Structure formats: C-alpha cells, structure tokens
Amino acid sequence: MTETLVLSAGHQLRDQAGALADAVVACEFARHPMLRTRYGAAGRTKSRQDAVYHLLHLADALDANSPALFNDYIGWAKVLLQHFGVSSEDLDRHLECMADVARKQMPPPVAASAVAMIDGARTALPAMPSTTASVLDPGQRLSPLAREYVRTMLGGYRQAARQLVFDAADRGEPVRQLYLQVFQPALREIGRLWQTRKISVAQEHFCSAATQIVMSQLLLRVPAAQRCGRGVVVACVSGDLHELGARMVGDFFEMAGWDAYFCGANTPHAAVVQSVVERAADVLAVSATMGYHLHAVQDLIELVRADPRCARLRVMVGGHPFTVDPTLWRTLGADGTAADADAAVALAGQWLAGPASAP
C-alpha cells in the first residue's frame, strides 16, 4: 500500500467523521438495546461525541501509518470511560460498530486499513490498564516538591504554590530543574486526576493558567544568557491549545542564549512561516499534543519545505504523540524530535554546532 493511499484514508475518514459517528451510534444502540437503559439519551449524545474523537484519532494514526498511536489513544479512552462508568466491554462494542460502519461506508482500501487498525486496538484492549497510577515519580529528586505544588494548586492557593517554587529557587535549585521536575510532572499529574475524575475541569484550568503565571515570574529571575547568534521559532500547530510544553521549549532555548520566538497555542501556519522568515530562524520547533492534530503538523512542515526562503531551516517536532511513536517525526517530514525541553536544545545544538554563519 502506498503512503499516498494511507494519507488519503485518513483524510477521507476525517472528512466524514460526523456522518460515520452517527452510523456508529445507531449501530451500537440497535445491536445492544440495553445501552439505552444503561446510559439514556444523554449517553447516546456522549457516545456520538466519543465516536467523533475516536475517528479523528484513527484518521491521523492512519495518515501516519501508526497503530501504536491509535492503541495509545484507545488505552487513554479506556481509562477515561471507565471512570465515567463505561465498561471496557461497551468500548469494545463501540469499536466493533466502528469497524462495521467503516467496512460498509468507506471505499474498500480505506475500510481495509481502518478495520485493521480498529481490530488491532480491540485485540489489545483487554490487556490495557483500567486506571493509571500517579505520574509523580518518587525516584525524582524534586518529587516531594512537585507533590506539594499539586496539592497547593488544587487547594486554589496560587500565591502559596508560587512561593514553594521561589523558595526552592532561592535555595539554589536551577530553574530548568524546577520546570522539568516540578511544573512538567505536576501538569501531567493534574491531567491524570482530571482523566480519572478526581478533579474538575475548572480545577485543571486553574492549575494550568496559574502555572503559566508562575513560570513567567520564575523566568524573570534568570539572568540573561550570553547570546549565541541562533534563532528558533516555537509554535503549537494549528488547532492545538496545549501551549505550556512548547512554552517550556521556548524558555529553555532562551535560557541557552538563543533568540527564541514563542508564538503560543494554535498558530496559523502561514503566520509561523512568516515568523520564521522575518526572524531568519535557524530552527522551527513545532509542538502537537493531540493525536488528531498530526495532519496539521504535516501540513505545516510541507508549507515550510515548499518555501525557498526556508531552505536552510531545520524542523523539530515534539509533544506526546512523538514519544508514543519514535519514528513519527520522520514520517511527517521533520528533521528530528526530542522528548523534553532540555533535549530539544541539545538536539538543535548538535544540528548547528559551529559558527552561526554555517549552513
């Protein structure tokens, strides 16, 4: 099967996600009348919403030819749904209908690849965990501080949380360590608590908004690094609202002496290209957190590759999907990926070792 065909399968599924989701829900409620009793009319609406998400993730996993991405997403959905009272068996029934709908409504080559990926996830489903453990790794030196930071933020005490981090900085804790060992795991833990219904959406929003403020204030305490004569543009791909990881990447570049231009969440691709050109950037760092934004990453990379003004630009990509599938960066046409902000700066340093004028 050619890559063009796989890409086109994803595009077709994405285009028809709404109609396919309607058919999936009609199928599961017709085939399993007890679902109506168990979940009611609201359940039907939620199931349709879930079907759209599943199809969008499936579409991008197909584009990238990556069953690992779809399995990772289904594993996440299993945990989330379990905490909303939806059993693994019901998720499996839903996926079974999704495969049947794809078989009936999509052209045979598209259906074949979609069904293979859905079936793969269904096979893996029983062994996938039903819940998740804390991501605050007790092995990490700053874990106790991260735990305290989460507890304080969840209590709604932004100033006190800020003080915890500032006190650690006063004791000599490097700001980069505070980013990587406190903010990063704390935010991931907060996401896990939301996913397992231990905290509300509002609490999660509060913690991420407050952490952005604390990060900004902490960054101001870092003395300006000696400039290295290199430039990076950091942007979240169009549609992706997760900007904290990308922001960390930008801050780490800045702390390493780079001219770092952080564009934030959901940046239109033409604006990213314009920034790269205007700032004569050496590196473009593209962040994507949601698996259903990978086609946007590919679109952005194609846009810069097609622009002769970006001929010398190196493109790195990062965010959760790139840790799930370590070959994804290559599939999407990037020059590399890195697991965190520290590794991102190290990779760019390797790429551009030598004087700033070197290609």
Q: Which residues bind ligand B12 (CB under 6 A)?
A: 73, 76, 184, 187-188, 190-192, 194-195, 204-205, 208, 239-246, 248-249, 265, 285-287, 289-291, 316-320, 337-338, 340-341, 344
Given the complex with ligand B12, which of 202 and 224 has the nearer CB atom? 202
Given the complex with ligand B12, which of 32 and 340 has the nearer CB atom? 340
- Residue 107: CB minimum distance to ligand B12, A: 27
Given the complex with ligand B12, which of 112 and 310 has the nearer CB atom? 310
Rounded to whole angstroms, the Cα distance separating 104 from 94 reads 15
Tokens 């999936």 label which residue? 24
- Residue 317: CB minimum distance to ligand B12, A: 5
**Position 44, amino acid:** R
Given the complex with ligand B12, which of 103 and 122 has the nearer CB atom? 122
Given the complex with ligand B12, which of 218 and 285 has the nearer CB atom? 285
Given the complex with ligand B12, which of 8 and 140 has the nearer CB atom? 140
- Residue 237: CB minimum distance to ligand B12, A: 9
- Residue 37: CB minimum distance to ligand B12, A: 26
Locate 175 and state its tokens: 């700001």
Given the complex with ligand B12, which of 103 and 158 has the nearer CB atom? 158
- Residue 280: CB minimum distance to ligand B12, A: 19
Q: Is the dihedral of CA 149, 261, 259, 288 positive or negative?
A: positive
- Residue 143: CB minimum distance to ligand B12, A: 16
**Position 177, amino acid:** Q
Long-range CB contacts (within 8 A, 24+) of 24-31: 24/48, 24/51, 24/94, 24/97, 24/98, 24/101, 25/51, 25/97, 27/97, 27/100, 27/101, 28/93, 28/94, 28/97, 31/93, 31/97
Rounded to whole angstroms, the Cα distance separating 73 from 128 reads 11
- Residue 312: CB minimum distance to ligand B12, A: 18
